[in-house]
């Protein structure tokens, strides 16, 4: 991923220096297991541990000839270690090291994302509680619907983000596995006991079953979880983009001192962070598609997945890390304009209470179809000619001669008291309040 969207800590994990360091960590863990089993001399292990180091420049030079990065890596180590290097990679195949080392990288990457998620969850929770009593218009199909609570938007996202965390942890529990079972996974030159011991040094579990590669349904699951998480971030971003529109103006993402919105129009304050998140989410979602394709490999292995994974795993983790941090910045720095929210709510001229009136008329014995037509007729007059819903309802000629509900009773329906009780119950149900 380009530097523009890469946070330093996450970016370093996927740099080729760090990847080769993980390869070396796997090789040394395997050598330790061999030494414990008295399959290599302990003094040779000491030499390997002391002398083995990564020289990326030299690896790349050798690879120009070998056209094989693992062999170039091993030859580079041999130049540094000397005769003891014959024990490095003993009984292993390339994918043993690559897949196991990749799990080490993922383990570190998960830790960063989990920290990012905690910060975003905290920001969403704070906003949900801060705006728990702020009444706003609810919108369906982009149109005014019924009133709702502004804080409920954040409560919904908080609840969904918790599910994203659960999905990520679930994928993590399965993918942090290693495999050191040799060519085609049959332990022809090593043993399950050696594999288990070496992996214990790395803090990894053994893959349940493997051929020459760890099976890619695990990676597809992980990329799917990241894609769903990206979808949630995109959804939040789209909501803020709509709410920041000039015609709505209920929120605005952070806008720094000296920041400019347009090269031509000095008045512009655009939701560029939210738009950026929406754009990057498309990449993460499409990366998941490549992950699904990687499940299908020929026989015991091919490497059609390898080239794709070098891109999609690194880029997906880097982008999710960036997007989570940017969304936390947006939530914490979000400007909310209660007066504009109130004005937008009042624009409905009581139409937001149409459902309450419909329900009350049916309780009083009016057939639903008739009650609906009365309220719809009055509502269309409000939209086309102005006035309030109660005024237009009182203009309608009903079979009984008048609306079967008094003006005072009608006005009693035009309140938001019921919302507070509903929101309290929702907040308790999802665990935002006790």
Active site residues: 141, 262
- Are 146 and 352 contacting, i.e. CB atoms less than 8 angstroms apart? yes
- Beta-carbon count within 10 A of 244 CB: 19
Chain centroid to CA 162:
10
Chain centroid to CA 26:
30
Q: Please say whether the dihedral angle defined by the alpha carbons of residues 48, 27, 182 and 192, taken in this order, is positive or negative.
A: positive
CA-based R_g, the chain, Å: 31
- Beta-carbon count within 10 A of 378 CB: 25
């Amino acid at each position: 991923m380009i530097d523009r969207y890469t946070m330093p800590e996450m970016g370093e994990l996927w740099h080729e220096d760090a990847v080769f360091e993980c390869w070396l960590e796997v090789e040394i863990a395997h050598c330790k297991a061999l030494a414990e089993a008295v399959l290599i001399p302990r003094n040779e292990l000491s030499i390997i541990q002391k002398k083995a180091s990564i020289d990326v420049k030299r690896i790349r030079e050798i690879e120009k000839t070998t056209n094989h990065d693992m062999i170039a890596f091993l030859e580079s180590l041999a130049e540094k270690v000397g005769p003891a290097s014959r024990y490095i990679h003993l009984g292993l195949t390339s994918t043993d090291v690559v897949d196991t080392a990749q799990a080490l990288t993922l383990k570190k990457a998960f830790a960063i994302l989990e920290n990012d998620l905690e910060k975003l969850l905290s920001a969403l929770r704070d906003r949900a509680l801060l705006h728990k009593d702020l009444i706003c218009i609810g919108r369906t199909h982009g149109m005014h619907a019924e009133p709702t609570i502004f804080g409920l938007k954040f409560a919904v996202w908080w609840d969904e983000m918790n599910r994203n965390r659960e999905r990520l942890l679930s994928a993590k529990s399965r993918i942090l596995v290693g495999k050191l079972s040799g060519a085609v996974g049959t332990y022809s030159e090593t043993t399950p006991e050696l594999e288990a011991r070496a992996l214990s040094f790395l803090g990894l579990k053994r893959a349940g079953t493997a051929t020459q590669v760890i099976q890619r349904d695990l990676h597809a699951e992980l990329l799917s979880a990241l894609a769903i998480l990206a979808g949630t971030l995109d959804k939040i971003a789209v909501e803020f983009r709509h709410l920041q529109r000039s015609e709505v103006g209920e929120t605005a993402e952070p806008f720094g001192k000296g920041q400019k919105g347009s090269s031509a129009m000095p008045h512009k304050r655009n939701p560029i962070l939210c738009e950026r998140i929406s754009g990057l989410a498309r990449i993460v979602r499409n990366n998941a598609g490549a992950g699904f394709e990687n499940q299908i490999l020929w026989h015991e292995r091919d490497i059609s997945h390898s080239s794709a994974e070098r891109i999609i795993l690194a880029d997906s983790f880097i982008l999710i890390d960036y997007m989570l941090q940017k969304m936390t910045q947006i939530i914490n720095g979000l400007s909310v304009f209660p007066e504009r929210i109130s004005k937008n709510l009042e624009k409905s001229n009581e139409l937001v209470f149409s459902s309450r009136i419909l329900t009350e008329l049916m309780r009083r014995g009016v057939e639903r179809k008739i009650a609906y037509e009365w309220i719809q007729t009055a509502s269309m007059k409000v939209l086309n000619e102005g006035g309030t819903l109660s005024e237009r309802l009182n203009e309608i000629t009903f079979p009984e001669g008048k609306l079967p509900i008094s003006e005072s009773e009608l006005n009693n329906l035009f309140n938001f008291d019921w919302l507070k009780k509903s929101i309290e119950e929702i907040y308790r149900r999802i665990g935002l309040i006790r």
